[in-house]
Amino acid sequence: MRSFLLLLSLGTASAFVGQQQAVPRAHETALFGGASGFATSLDGKKDKVARVEELLESSDMIFAVPAKSITVAEAQQLRRSLPEGSVVSVVKNTIMTRAVAGTEYEAATSMLTGPNMWFFIEEDIGGTIKAWKSFVKESGKIESHGIFGGVVEGVYYDDKGVQAIGNLPSKDELYAKIAGSIKAVPTKVARVIKAPNSKLARAIKLATVDERSD
C-alpha cells in the first residue's frame, strides 16, 4: 500500500518546475552533532552516521531547511505537527556527507552549506511538506527559512520542485479519496439501475420478464 500511495502521489509530478539531477539510488526531533565527549570521538561519530543511515534507508524523500534561529520550543512544535513516520533532525554536514555517500540521496551533498535541518520522510511526503509550510507561516519565517531542496528516488529538486510536491495530496487525503471512490461505485450503479428510462433498467426488466416466462 505504501508503494502504491507513493506512486500515486508522484504520478502527477512530472511537470514540476525546478532543477533536477539524476543520480544513482541512494516521532522525534534528534540533534546529530555539536556535542562533547563520546559524541565527538571516532566511535561517537560512527554512531551518528549509522543513525542517519537508518533514517535514510526508511525514507521515501528527504529535504533540507535552514536550522538557524529555530528555538527548542519551536522545534518541538514542529515535531508534533509532523505526520507519523516523519523525522526532523539537525545533522552536521560532515555526518550527512558520510551517511549519503553511495546512496540514492547522494545528490543531497549539493545542499550541505551552513547548519541544516533535515526532514526524513518515511511515507507521507505531502503531509510533511505542508506541515513545514504551516510552521514557517505561523512563526513568521517564510522569508528567512525557504527550502534548500530535496531528493526523492535519486532525483534532486530545488525549492520550487519540493513546493510542487507539497501541493500533492497527503496520505490522509489520498486515503479519503480512495475510500470515497470505493463507496461511490455501488451508489452510482444503484442509481443507474433504478433510473426509469435507462437502457440498463429496461434490460434488467426484460431479463426478469424472460426468466419469469420460462
- Read off the C-alpha cell for 79: 515535531
Pair 86, 128: CB distance under 8 Å: yes
Pair 77, 138: CB distance under 8 Å: no
Pair 95, 43: CB distance under 8 Å: no
Instruction: List the pLDDT tens digit at each of the 214 positions of the chain.
Output: 555 445 445 544 444 444 444 433 333 334 444 455 665 677 778 899 999 999 999 999 999 999 999 999 999 999 999 999 999 999 999 999 999 999 999 999 999 988 999 999 998 999 999 999 999 999 999 999 999 999 999 999 999 999 998 887 766 777 777 776 666 655 655 555 555 555 555 555 555 554 444 5
* pLDDT for 27: 38
Domain boundaries, the chain: 2-168, 172-213
Fold annotation for 2-168:
Alpha-Beta Plaits (3.30.70)
Q: Who contacts 51 (Cβ-Cβ below 8 Å, separation ≥6)? A: 30, 32
Which of 152, 126, 117, 115 is closest to 23 using CA atoms? Answer: 152
- The helix-helix angle for 125-138 and 159-166 (nearest 10°) equals 110
* pLDDT for 41: 73
* pLDDT for 208: 53
Q: How far apart are CA 75 and CA 158, in angstroms?
A: 23
Classify the C-alpha dihedral 124-72-76-81 as positive or negative: negative
